[in-house]
Amino acid sequence: MSHMGYRCLMAVDREHVLRSAAALLTRKSTATMDEVAKAAGISRATLHRQFAGRDALVRALEALGIAECEAALAAARTDEGPATEAVRRLVAEIEPHAGLLAFLYSENQLFEGEEQNEGWARIDERVAGLFRRGQSSGEFRIDLTPAWLTEALYGLLASAAWAVAEGRVAPKDFTHMIVELLLGGVRRPEEPAARKES
C-alpha cells in the first residue's frame, strides 16, 4: 500500500477525528487544539498534519454539518406529503446532529463580515422553501415569514440540544418537544372537538 494506502488511512482517521472534535466542541466550544487531539486519541502534531489549524478544523466541521443537514433534508423528503409531516421528519433526521449544529450556529456569529459558506444559504433556502410550501398549501399560517420560521427552527434546535446536554429535558423528548412547539405552539387548542392526531 505504498501508492494509495495513505489515502484510505487518512480518510478513515480524518472521519474519526472529525467526529471526536464535533463531540467535544459540542460540549466545550472553546476546547484547545490539544484537547481536541486528546479527545481523538491522537497527538497534536498528527491533528495539525490533518488540519492546517484550528480554522481549518472548524471549516471541516462546518462542511460536515452542512453535509449532514443536506443528508437530513434529503432523508426527510421535504418535498413530499404534508408540510407538517415533512417538518416532523426533518427535525427527527436532524436530531442526532443538533449538538454540532448548535456549535456551528454560535460559531457562525464570529465570522462577522467574512464570507459565509454558501452551503448554509442553500440549506436556509430549502428549509424556508418547506415553510413556504406549507403556507401555500394552507397548512401553515402566513403571518410569519419563512425566513423567521427558519431562524426559529435553528434556535429551537440549539436550545433543545443545550437543554438536553444540561440535563434539563429528557433526550427522548427532543423531537417531540421541538416539533410540537414549532407546529402547534404552547396555546391549547380551543375546540374540544375530536382530534385524530396525538
Residues that bind a copy of itself (CB under 8 A): 28-30, 84, 87, 106, 109-110, 112, 131, 134, 138-141, 143-145, 147-149, 151-152, 154-156, 158-160, 162-163, 168-169, 173, 177, 180-191, 193
* Interaction of residue 33 with DNA, rule CB under 7 A: yes
DSSP symbol at 96: G
Task: Please list every residue from 55 through 94 that binds DNA, using CB under 7 A.
Answer: 55
97 contacts 65 by C-beta, under 8 angstroms: yes
* Interaction of residue 10 with DNA, rule CB under 7 A: yes
* Interaction of residue 193 with DNA, rule CB under 7 A: no
Q: How far is CA 69 from CA 63, 65, 101, 195, in A?
A: 10, 6, 9, 33
* Interaction of residue 139 with DNA, rule CB under 7 A: no
Residue span binding DNA (CB under 7 A) among the ranges 43-51, 71-79, 173-181, 186-194: 43-51
Residue among 142, 146, 179, 139 at smallest CA distance from 160: 179
Please state, in angstroms and rounded to a whole number, the distance separating the CA atoms of residues 135 and 128.
Answer: 11
Q: Where are the alpha helices (DSSP H) in 28-117?
A: 33-40, 44-50, 54-76, 83-94, 98-108
* Interaction of residue 34 with DNA, rule CB under 7 A: yes
Least distance (Å) from DNA to the CB of residue 59?
A: 11
* Interaction of residue 24 with DNA, rule CB under 7 A: no
Instruction: Count CB-CB contacts under 10 A for residue 108.
Output: 15
Task: Determine which residue in the list 8, 29, 53, 173 makes contact with DNA, applying CB under 7 A.
Answer: 53
Type of residue found at 44: R
Residues that bind DNA (CB under 7 A): 1-2, 6, 9-10, 13, 32-34, 41-46, 48-49, 52-55
